[in-house]
C-alpha cells in the first residue's frame, strides 16, 4: 500500500455567520430606541415642551413594548392556563394601566427596562449557541474508498456507507466510525475521548470519526455512514441538551407565574364588585391603581441588575458567563463533574518514572530513548526529549504501532511498548507504573532490556487545593474520563475526588449528567465534553486553549487554567444569588403591601408610583453589591 496524500483532507468550514457587534445587533435596536426616546422625552417635558415630550414618550413606549407585548398576548391566548404566563404579561398589564391613568412616562420606563433586560438575555443565549456545527469540521470533506478492483476512489465523506473500506493515510482524519482491517499505526483520539496520549491501531481496533491517524497507512472498514457516526451523534446530543436547557424558566418568571392570576383576579374583582356597590368610575380607576401597584417594576430589574454586576465582577478573575440564567443556576450547584485530560491534568505528557536494569544508568536509558525519539512522530516522543539530551542516532526506523529502532554509539537500540519488547526482569516495575496510570516505554540495548520509562499527563499542581475547597463548600466531586479505569483512578485519588467513572464516551458523560439528582456543573475543555457541558445545569469550559466546541456548548468559560477559579466562581455565584433573593423578596413585599392599600383607596396613583421608584432604587443599590469580588486569585 502506498502512503499518498499525507497532508490530510480539507476540512469543512463553519457556515454560520458570526455574532454581530452589539451596536449592529438588530435585536437591541428597539430597546435602545426606547431608552433614547425616554430620555429625550423627559428632557422635552422638563423644558416646557409638554406635547412634544408626551409624543416622544409614547413612541418610546411603543418601541419598548413591541419587544414583549405581542408575545405576552400570544401566550395569553394559546398558553395552557395562567400558570404558563410570566413577567411579560404583568409588565404589559402595568404599562396599560399606567397609560389609562395618564402616566405615559411611567409606562415608557417600564417598557424600556423590561425590553432591554430581555434583549440582553436573548443576545447572550444566541452567542452561547452559535457555531455549534463547527463540531462537524472534524470530519474531512472527502474520503478515499478502496474499490473492489483494488484501486482507490475519492468521494464526499457524507456519502460513505457502512461496509466500505476506507484508506487512511498518515496524518489524515477518519471520515466515519470503523474497524482497522489492515496496517498498524497510532491514533490521536482526543476529539472523541479527550485523552492526550495516542492509542495503538492494529487489525481489529475500533476507530471513531474525527480521529487523526499517525504515521502508518490503515485500511478501515466503515461500521457507520458518513452522516450517522459518533461525531454527528455528539452534535445531536448537544443540540438536544441545549433545547432542553432552554425550557428552564428563569427565577423571576417562576415567581411571576403564580402572581399573574392573583393580580388579574384582584383587579377584576375590584372593578366588578366595586362597581356594583358604588361609583363604577371610582372603582375602575382604583382597579387600575391596583394593577400599577402590582406592577413588577422592581421584580423585573431585581435579577438583571444583580446579574450584570456579578458577571462584570466575575470577569475580573477570568470567568466569562454567557447568560444571566446560567449565572443564576451557578448559585445552586451541589455536584461538580470533571473531565480528566486538559482539565484536571496539564494535557502535556511528562516523564515521571525511570527504572534501569543492572549495568545501566537511568540517565543512559533516557539518553538512548531521546536519541531515537528525536526524529519520531510518536506522541510520547516530546515527553522523552524534554527529559534528556538527545545524542546522535542513525539508521532510525519507526515501526507503526510498536516503537522505533536504530543505532546509537554503535549500539542497537529499540524503544517501544511492552507488546513489542518483553520487559523480562522489569515486569513487576512495568505493572507497578502502569497501575499508577502511566504509559510505559521499554528501552532495549543490543537485544537486552535496559530500562523502562513511565510517561503520564500530570495533575495540575493546584488541583488538590481546588478540590479540597469545593469539599469545604459542601460540593461533591466526580471525574468523568475517557481514559482507562487504572489511569483515571490514580489521578482521582491524587486529586482527592470523591467518585470516578472511566472509559466514558461523550454520550456516557451526558447520560451521567442527565441522571444526576442534584444541580450539577460539568467542567471540561474538549470536543468530547460538549454533550455533557450542554446537558449540565451549568457547563464550564476550562482555559483559552479549550476547543471551540467546548466553549460554545458551555454556559461559563474560564480564560485561564487555574482550577482555583472554580470554587471562587461558585462561591461568588452563591453570594450573588442570595442578593437576587433579597431583591426579589423586596420587590414582592412592595407588591404585597401596596396592592391592598391601593384597593381600599388609602394610596393614590402618585403615592404608588413614588414608592415603586424608591423600591427600584433600593433594589439597584442592593444589586450593585454583587460587584464585590472575593477571589483567592485576586488576593
First to last CA, the chain: 61
Query: What residues form DSSP beta bridges with 182?
Result: 219
CB neighbour class for 290 (10 Å; exposed up to 12, middle 13-18, buried from 19): buried
The kind and range of the H/E element at 72 are helix 69-78
The DSSP 8-state label assigned to residue 247 in this structure reads T
Q: In angstroms, rounded to a whole number, what is the distance separating the alpha carbons of residues 127 and 43?
A: 35
Active-site hit among 25, 50, 228, 339:
339
Strand partners, 592: none
In this structure, the strands spanning 411-416 and 394-399 are unpaired
Separation CA 140–CA 609 (nearest Å): 62
Which whole-number Å values give the CA distances from 81 to 258, 264, 267, in the listed order?
A: 11, 13, 18
- Residue 341 CA to residue 457 CA, distance in Å, equals 8
Buried b / exposed e over 46-71, threshold 16 CB at 10 Å, is: eeeeeeebbebbbbbbbbbbebbbee
Q: Write the CB contacts of 415 (distance below 8 Å, at least 6 apart in sequence).
A: 368, 369, 372, 373, 403, 404, 405, 441, 442, 443, 444
List the one residue out of 203, 256, 269 whose CA is nearest residue 599: 269
Pinpoint the alpha helices (H) of 181-340: 230-246, 251-277, 280-293, 297-314, 324-330
Query: What is the full DSSP assignment across 308-325?
Result: HHHHHHHGGGTEEE--HH
Nearest in space to 294 (alpha carbons), one of 71, 75, 603:
603
Contact 217, 3 (CB under 8 A): yes
Please say if 457 is a catalytic residue: no
Helix (H) or strand (E) holding 127: helix 104-129
Catalytic residue list: 339
Amino acid at each position: 500500500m502506498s502512503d499518498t496524500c499525507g497532508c490530510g483532507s480539507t476540512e469543512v468550514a463553519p457556515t454560520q455567520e458570526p455574532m454581530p457587534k452589539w451596536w449592529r445587533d438588530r435585536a437591541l435596536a428597539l430597546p435602545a430606541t426606547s431608552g433614547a426616546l425616554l430620555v429625550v422625552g423627559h428632557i422635552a417635558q422638563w423644558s416646557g415642551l409638554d406635547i412634544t415630550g408626551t409624543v416622544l414618550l409614547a413612541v418610546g413606549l411603543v418601541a419598548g413594548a413591541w419587544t414583549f407585548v405581542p408575545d405576552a398576548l400570544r401566550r395569553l391566548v394559546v398558553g395552557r392556563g395562567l400558570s404558563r404566563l410570566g413577567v411579560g404579561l404583568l409588565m404589559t398589564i402595568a404599562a396599560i394601566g399606567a397609560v389609562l391613568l395618564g402616566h405615559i412616562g411611567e409606562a415608557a420606563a417600564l417598557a424600556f427596562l423590561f425590553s432591554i433586560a430581555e434583549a440582553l438575555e436573548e443576545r447572550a443565549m444566541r452567542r452561547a449557541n452559535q457555531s455549534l456545527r463547527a463540531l462537524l469540521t472534524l470530519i474531512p470533506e472527502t474520503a478515499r474508498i478502496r474499490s473492489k478492483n483494488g484501486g482507490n476512489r475519492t468521494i464526499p465523506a457524507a456519502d460513505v456507507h457502512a461496509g466500505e473500506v476506507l484508506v487512511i493515510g498518515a496524518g489524515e482524519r477518519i471520515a466515519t466510525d470503523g474497524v482497522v482491517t489492515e496496517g498498524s499505526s497510532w491514533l490521536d483520539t482526543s476529539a472523541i475521548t479527550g485523552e492526550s496520549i495516542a492509542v495503538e491501531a492494529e487489525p481489529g481496533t475500533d476507530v471513531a470519526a474525527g480521529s487523526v491517524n499517525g504515521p502508518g497507512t490503515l485500511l478501515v472498514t466503515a461500521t457507520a455512514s458518513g452522516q450517522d457516526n459518533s461525531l454527528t451523534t455528539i452534535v445531536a446530543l448537544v443540540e438536544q441538551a441545549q433545547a432542553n436547557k432552554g425550557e428552564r424558566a428563569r427565577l423571576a418568571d417562576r415567581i411571576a407565574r403564580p402572581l399573574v392570576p392573583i393580580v388579574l383576579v384582584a383587579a377584576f374583582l375590584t372593578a366588578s364588585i366595586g362597581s356594583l356597590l358604588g361609583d363604577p368610575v371610582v372603582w375602575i380607576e382604583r382597579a387600575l391603581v391596583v394593577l400599577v401597584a402590582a406592577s413588577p417594576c422592581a421584580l423585573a430589574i431585581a435579577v438583571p441588575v444583580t446579574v450584570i454586576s456579578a458577571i462584570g465582577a466575575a470577569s475580573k478573575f477570568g470567568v466569562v458567563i454567557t447568560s444571566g440564567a446560567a449565572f443564576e443556576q451557578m448559585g445552586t450547584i451541589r455536584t461538580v463533574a470533571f473531565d480528566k485530560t486538559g482539565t484536571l491534568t496539564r494535557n502535556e505528557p511528562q516523564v515521571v518514572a525511570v527504572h534501569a536494569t543492572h549495568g545501566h544508568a537511568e540517565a543512559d536509558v533516557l539518553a538512548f530513548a531521546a536519541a531515537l525519539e528525536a526524529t519520531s512522530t510518536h506522541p510520547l516522543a516530546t515527553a522523552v526529549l524534554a527529559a534528556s539530551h538527545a545524542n546522535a542516532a542513525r539508521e532510525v526506523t519507526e515501526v507503526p504501532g510498536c516503537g522505533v529502532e536504530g543505532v546509537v554509539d554503535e549500539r542497537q537500540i529499540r524503544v517501544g511498548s511492552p507488546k513489542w519488547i518483553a520487559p523480562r526482569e522489569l515486569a513487576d516495575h512495568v505493572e507497578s507504573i502502569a497501575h499508577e496510570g502511566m504509559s510505559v516505554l521499554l528501552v532495549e540495548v543490543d537485544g537486552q532490556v535496559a530500562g523502562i520509562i513511565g510517561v503520564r499527563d500530570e495533575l495540575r499542581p493546584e488541583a488538590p487545593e481546588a478540590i479540597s475547597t469545593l469539599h469545604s463548600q459542601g460540593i461533591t466531586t466526580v471525574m468523568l474520563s475517557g481514559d482507562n479505569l487504572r489511569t483515571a483512578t490514580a489521578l482521582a485519588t491524587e486529586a482527592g475526588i470523591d467518585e470516578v467513572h472511566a472509559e466514558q464516551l461523550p454520550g456516557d458523560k451526558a447520560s451521567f449528567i442527565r441522571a444526576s439528582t442534584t444541580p450539577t456543573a460539568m467542567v471540561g475543555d474538549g470536543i468530547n465534553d460538549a454533550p455533557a457541558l450542554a446537558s449540565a445545569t451549568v457547563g464550564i469550559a476550562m482555559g483559552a486553549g479549550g476547543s471551540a466546541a467546548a466553549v460554545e456548548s458551555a454556559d461559563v468559560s474560564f480564560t485561564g487554567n487555574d482550577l482555583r477559579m472554580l470554587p471562587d466562581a461558585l462561591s461568588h455565584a452563591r453570594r450573588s444569588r442570595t442578593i437576587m433573593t433579597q431583591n426579589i423578596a423586596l420587590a414582592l413585599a412592595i407588591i404585597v403591601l401596596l396592592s391592598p392599600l391601593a384597593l381600599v383607596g388609602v394610596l393614590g396613583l402618585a403615592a404608588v408610583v413614588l414608592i415603586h421608584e424608591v423600591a427600584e432604587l433600593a433594589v439597584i443599590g442592593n444589586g450593585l453589591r454583587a460587584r464585590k469580588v472575593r477571589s483567592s486569585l485576586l488576593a
